[in-house]
Amino acid sequence: MQRKPTYEELEKTVESLENALSREGLSGNLFRTKQGQAPMNQSWYTNLFEKHLDAIYLIGQDGRILDANKAACRALGVSKEMMRDLLIMDIDPNFCIESFQSFWEGHPNELPRVFESTHKNAEGAAYPVQVMGIPFTEHGHKRFFGIARDMSHRKEAEAKIREKESNFRELIETIEDMVFICTLSGEVVYANPFARKRLGYSRDDFQNLAFWDLFPEDTHADARTFFKAAITTKQDFPLPLRNRDGRRIASETCAWKGKWGEKDAIFLVSKDLSDLQENLHLFERLFRDNPILMALTTIPEGRFVDVNVAFINMLGYSKAEILGNTVANLGLFVHPEKQANVSKLLRKNGNLNNVELQVVTKHGSILEGLFSGEVVYSNGTPYSLTAMSNITEQRKIESALKLQAMVLDQIHDYVTVTDTKGVITYVNNAVKTNLGYTQGELVGLSTEVYGEKSGHGATQQEIFQKTLQDGRWHGEVVNRTIHGREVFLDSRVQKVFDDSGECIALCGVSTDITERKKIEQDLIKSKEQYVLAINGARDGIWDWDLHDNSLFLSPRWKEMIGYCDEELPNIFSSFEDRLHPEDKPVVLKYVENYLLGKTPAYSIEFRLRHKDGSYRWIQARGEALRDENGVPYRMAGSHTDITEQKSFEEKIQQAQKMESIANLASGIAHDFNNILTPILGLAEMLTEDLRTGSPEQIKVKEIFKASERARDLISQILAFGRKSEEKLGPVKFQYILDDVLTLCRSSIPKNIEIQSAIQKNCGAIWANATQLHQIAMNLITNAYHAMENMDGAKIEVSLREVDRGSDDHGSSEILGDRQLLFSVSDTGAGIPPEIMDKIFEPYFTTKKQGKGTGLGLAVVYGILKEYGGDIRIESDVGKGSTFHLYFPMMEKPGEFERSTEIPKIKTGHEHILIVDDEPALVNLVKTLLNRLGYQVTARLGAMEALEAFKANPENYDAVISDMAMPKMTGDRLAAEMKKIRPDIPVMICTGFSERLNKEKAEAIGIEGFLMKPFNKNNLAVMLRKVLDQAKR
């Protein structure tokens, strides 16, 4: 028994295999004819190659490419027509005509040969291929049939392997061919992984096998013969291999003798041909199942060798009736002589294309056929391979279209017929005449020749696709004449079906609407100008047809009252139902009088209800058209929104009213406060002098309270009329509310519960403590009066910080992110909606006489607006009301005021000069100061006081003077005195003065400023302050 080779010997053998492969290449017979096989079972089937994925070529002996399939055209990037102009050397740079002929010289016909080469596409790019070539003879001319498989991917894989491994063993280990190394006696000493995998043997299994054991038993003898022959010459043999399970594997093996180490060995490479056999079966199925009629007949007898299923089904014969019979015996052709001439032409030229012949079916029906054929050879015997397309229905349609064309040429609409690819097959005279084309210029072109207009309708391609998808299309398109003029068309396109329901064409009918479009565009332009004019005027337009009572209301008319055009119908009730109840009868009567001619012009103001429920003021103007009898038949006009104008007028009236109140207040304030000052002062002194709790003291206290109320009334009037001068500064409202709530709880009856929720850490606001006190007292007092005689009454007072515009009741009407919200609620009768707009008007009140002045809420509103605040009211009749007041908060609060505590009264002994033109006031002030311990000199009038001061200026420690006096005002008196003695402290008292306030007084050097009416405490505090400052 021969010994197994060592690894070093195996390496040398692999090296010899590398040299042999590079020298010889892989070759083999892929389509060797099997013994006993029917003629053409291989060669003629290869003509059914169009759908094959590999490139297939038919080549003449001179190297010219006679035909190629679609895969070949795609691979080279050329058309089928261009392919027939090429030589084999144009696509395979390895061949010249001499080498090509030499390559095939002596190779037997019908015996395939497999080799590798390089092809070059139309762009010059080369790519590797594996070629299976089959030589055959046709009419004495040698032909070559080749299948080329693109080996780019495989070669790339091999290149990568070569780059990674220099040892050729890597190639053997990875190649998808079965590689064997055997001793000269046939013992297998090596099989590559692909061979082991494909045959199912392990590495050790091969050590116990002879080479012929890899073949089926019935081919062992042939395998031994080929193996022995390979010892002397290289052999190719197409015997199938057998795997471990006994299944045959179609293959082709190349064997040659080489060196394995120092010993001779046989190297074998087997190529798996299973895929190629499957391709052969594919060719068979393509022939059998092709929808085109196909037949194989003998030459020249015309005897049928094979036919496909479509041939049998279409002509109605069974396969047994056809095979072995002749074309003449079956009488298949309507014109046998024409068929005979076609057969001669086929035999002469070797092929023919698209020849029309009429065929008779078994049942006598006549079919229109389009024939193509080719002469093919099997074992040197010629056969006729023919294919027929049934164009019967197509010819019927063409005949029908000719008749239809005669009719369609008589109509004025544009008619275009296309095939199912969008290629024009027919146009009527209207298309040719109006677009300027001839029939020949349009037929065969795509409908895109008609042109299109960007942005106007669908494109020609979109119309085509939509029609194929939905069966029909309708719309407007723009075509262009041959000279570029635009033609507007109303087009309708739909599919055309044959009797079987198959779509065979598309038909479009178009009406020329160019003139109509021009008219429409003119109308649109006119309408746009009309709309621009209406919208530019910002007025609502209405047009009333009195014959049918129809009404047009423009979108702007509806927009004025909050509606979109679609929301409000164009009917008279849309206007009538939205009239304010108070205005409706007046407006309708006015319209009636105008139409009757009783009113010369139509111009009226009224209110219309807005969508949100509010009312808008409208100025309506219009004019009626009348017939010859003066009877109106149409009326049109406009609406102008004058709500803002009305609001402005109301504000002007309100401002005038406020101005009159302010003037009244300033006119009476001084005199009234002068009257109140002695009343308050004397009442205060009487209260001190009378016995505590005595009837007299109680009565005097009532006088004092009434006087205070009168004082507050004047203060409110001045505040409302913006005539008061109150200094603003940082104030924390919560401190004011502590004092107000204490006062209210002591003065409001116990049956009314007062609840409070005061945020103690609220920030400061820019305000005046006295005015805040006044606001809180007014609102709480109003709440008390709203439920004075009710059981279970309750007042709620709250103060807290909120965010601007938040859900937490923040107001978006005032500036600043943080706001102070002051709320007062009651459970009283509520505010009726009809008076809600009037509650802030001055002197408007719903309280009983003696219970209110009508200024409380007006004062609150005035002060709040002066602060830049906002107010909201929630009221439900029968349940109560809530007032929400919003104050802008200071970003960086400084010192803030707290409610003023009553200071301890300080007395003195200084000498005071008092000046007033009212004797009662002089006596009051003198008495008050005497009680406080001061020495007093009194003078009636400024001139008398000035003379006394000039006489002895050092005799006085301070001067108290009225402001408004005859001949000389208090500020001028102070100036004259300070000329005499600059350090004399002066205090001015006034009931009201537009000329002088606290700031102005300080600016001109007046040390003290006191408003009348004042009490003893006010007077004592201010005087002591002035005297103490003068001593510093």
> What angle separates helix 1016-1031 from helix 919-931, to the nearest 10 degrees?
70
In a shared domain, residues 604 and 669: no
Distance, CA of 921 to CA of 1014 (rounded, Å): 11
Look at residue 533 and tell me if it is in a domain: no
929 & 1026 share domain: yes
The secondary structure element, H or E, covering residue 180 is: strand 178-182
Q: Which helix (H) or strand (E) holds 418?
A: strand 414-418
Residue-wise over 698-720: b if at least 16 C-beta within 10 A, else e? eebeebbeebeebbeebbbbbbb
Q: Is residue 279 part of a domain?
A: no
Decide if 550 is inside a domain: yes
| Nearest by Cα to 868 from 891, 886, 849, 883 | 886
Q: What is the pLDDT of residue 723?
A: 47
The closest alpha carbon to 580, from 588, 591, 592, belongs to 588
Task: Give the β-pairing of 765-767 and 729-731.
Answer: antiparallel
CB-hemisphere CA count at 13 Å for 792? 4
Q: Largest alpha-carbon pair distance within the chain? A: 168
Strand, coil or helix: 548: coil
Domain of 593 in residue numbering reads as 538-641
- Per-residue pLDDT, 705: 75
Residues 181 and 312 in one domain: no
pLDDT of amino acid 822: 95
Phi, psi of 284 (to 5 degrees): -60, -40
Q: From 344, 371, 390, give the residue that closes a domain.
A: 390
Read off φ and ψ for residue 611, nearest 5 degrees: -60, -30
Per-residue tokens: 745: 């709880």
Q: Are 339 and 385 in contact (CB under 8 A)?
A: no
Is 492 in contact with 513 (CB distance < 8 Å)?
no
Which amino acid, residue 602? Y
Indicate whether 191 and 248 sit together in one domain: yes
Are 207 and 256 contained in the same domain?
Answer: yes
607: which 2 tokens?
Answer: 């209110």
CATH of the domain at 872: 3.30.565.10
Tell whether 90 is covered by a domain: yes
List per-block mean pLDDT (blocks of 10 residues) for the chain, which spans 1032 residues: 40 42 36 39 52 83 88 90 88 83 78 85 89 82 84 76 60 83 90 90 87 90 90 88 89 88 87 74 76 88 89 89 88 88 88 89 89 85 88 81 75 89 89 85 87 77 90 90 88 90 91 86 74 69 89 90 92 92 94 92 94 92 91 92 83 68 66 79 84 85 76 64 63 89 80 91 89 87 84 90 68 71 92 79 59 64 84 89 92 52 70 92 89 92 93 93 88 92 91 70 83 83 89 78
Model pTM greater than 0.75?
Answer: no
- State whether 359 and 297 are in the same domain: yes
Reported as type and span, the H/E element at residue 709 is helix 695-720
Which of 214, 246, 273 delimits the end of a domain?
Answer: 273
The alpha-helical segments, DSSP class H, found in 135-234 are 152-164, 169-174, 193-199, 203-206, 220-229
Structure tokens at 274: 């299973």
Whether 825 is covered by a domain: the verdict is: yes
Q: Are 50 and 273 in contact (CB under 8 A)?
A: no
pLDDT at 618: 93
Residues 612 and 579 in one domain: yes
Q: Which of 363, 390, 417 is the last residue of a domain?
A: 390
- 399 lies in the same domain as 477: yes
Whether 523 is in a domain gets the answer: no
- Are 633 and 703 found together in one domain? no
Q: What is the CATH number of the domain that holds 184?
A: 3.30.450.20
Residue 659: predicted pLDDT: 66
Task: Flag whether 647 is in a domain.
Answer: no
Together in a domain, 267 and 299: no
Reply yes or no: is the peptide bond before residue 1013 cis, omega within 30 of 0. Answer: yes
If one counts the domains in the chain, the total is 8
User: Do 72 and 126 share a domain, yes or no?
Assistant: yes
Q: Which helix H or strand E contains 462, and what residues bound it?
A: helix 460-470
532 domain-assigned: no
Q: Could you tell me if 42 and 135 lie in one domain?
A: yes
Name the one residue in this structure whose structure tokens are 């009442």.
683
DSSP string, 552-620: EE-HHHHHTTT--TTTS-SSHHHHHTTB-TTTHHHHHHHHHHHHTTSSSSEEEEEEEE-TTS-EEEEEE
